[in-house]
Amino acid sequence: MYMAYEMRIEDNIIIFQFKSNKVSSISLETLKGLDAALDKASNEEDIKGIIMVGTDRFFSGGFDLNEFVSFKDGQEILDWFKIEEEVLLKLFTCPKPVIAAINGNATAAGMIVAMAADWRIAINHPKVKIGMTEIKIGLSLTPAEAGLMRWGLDSEKNYRDVIFKGELLSVTEMAERGVFDELVDDHEHLMEQAKAKVVALIDTPGRPFMGLKVMHREEAARVIRRQIDEFEWDMLVKTFTDEKIIGTLTMVKNALGI
C-alpha cells in the first residue's frame, strides 16, 4: 500500500515527496496534499520554501492512470481537472521559492510540475528520462498544464520539440536547452543543493525575492487564469470517455505495473 505523498519540514523548508506508487504518480490525493503544502508555505512566515522530490527512480511518472481510466461520469472528470488546474496555478504563483529536485524520471505531469519551479536540479544519470509523450497516446494539455510547460521550456523551439514530438530526452539535453539549471551526481547532493537554493533565494533582508517573483510571473499567471476560465471543459469529458484513449491508457498503466 503506497502513500500518495509525504510532506515533512526540514530546516524550515517543506519537502513534498511524490510517492503514490512505484512511478510516483500524482493522484487527486497528491494534488490536495500539494495544495495544503502551498497554503502552508504562503501563509507561514517561518517556512522558507518548498522542495518537490520523488521516490526511488522516479520524480514522477505523471498523473495517476488508475484514476484516468476509472472516471464514473463526465461530472467526475470535470471535478478532477478543475481541482488540478487550480492547484497547478497555485503552484506557479507560490510566493516562496519552489525547487524541483529531480531525482529520477520526470514525465507527463512530473515534468509539468517541475516546470513551475523557480530552480530545477536533476541527478545526472544516463537512465533518467524527461519528457511528454501525451501527443502519442491521444492526450492534449489543459490551460494550466500548457501554461506551465510554456513557461518552463522558455522557447517556442523547446515547446515544439518536447510537446509535439512526444519523445523522452536526457537530463543533459534538458540542461543544454536551459530547461534544467543544475546537475548533481547523487541524491545527497541533490537535496543539499535544493535546500541551499531555497536559502539563497529567500534569506535576504526584506525577502525581495517574493515581490520580484510575483512581478515576474504576473502576466503569465493572468493568461493561465483567463484560459482556465474560458476553457471548453467538455473537451476533457470527450477525451476521457473515448474508448480508444481509455484502452491506450489502460495498456500504458498495465505496462508500468501500477
Reported as a pLDDT band with limits 50, 70 and 90, residue 20 is confident
Tell me, yes or no, whether 211 lies in a domain: no
Question: Cell numbers at residue 110, please?
Answer: 512530473
Tell me, yes or no, whether 232 lies in a domain: no
pLDDT in tens, 194-224: 999 999 999 999 999 999 999 999 999 999 9
Question: Cell numbers at residue 209, please?
Answer: 525575492
**pLDDT the model gives residue 68:** 97
Tell me, yes or no, whether 210 lies in a domain: no
Question: Cell numbers at residue 106, please?
Answer: 520526470
Please give the residue range of the domain that contains residue 169.
Answer: 5-202
Average pLDDT, the chain: 97
- Which residues in 148-157 are b (16+ Cβ under 10 Å) and which e? bbbbbbeeee
**Which domain CATH number covers 37?**
3.90.226.10
Which residue bears the cell 526540514? 10
**pLDDT the model gives residue 3:** 87
**Is 91:34 a contact under the CB 8 Å cutoff?**
yes
Tell me, yes or no, whether 253 lies in a domain: no
Chain-centre distance for alpha carbon 102: 11
Q: What is the mean pLDDT of residues 74-86?
A: 98
Tell me, yes or no, whether 198 lies in a domain: yes
- pTM across the whole model: 0.97
**pLDDT the model gives residue 187:** 95
Tell me, yes or no, whether 50 lies in a domain: yes
Q: Distance between CA atoms of 157 and 53, rounded to whole angstroms?
A: 27
pLDDT in tens, 30-72: 999 999 999 999 999 999 999 999 999 999 999 999 999 999 9
Residue 1 has pLDDT above 60, yes or no: no
Tell me, yes or no, whether 238 lies in a domain: no
Q: Name which of 89, 218, 82, 80 is nearest 147 in CA terms.
A: 89
Strand order in the sheet with 98-102: 5-10, 13-18, 49-53, 98-102, 119-123, 182-184
The DSSP result for 47-87, as a single string, is: --EEEEE-BTTEEE--B-HHHHT---SHHHHHHHHHHHHHH
Q: What is the mean pLDDT of residues 131-140?
A: 94
Tell me, yes or no, whether 148 lies in a domain: yes
- In sequence order, the 6+-apart residues with CB closer than 8 A to the CB of 146 are 227
Residue 134 has pLDDT above 90, yes or no: yes
Count: domains in the chain: 1
φ, ψ (nearest 5 deg) of residue 211: -70, -40
Amino acid present at 225? R
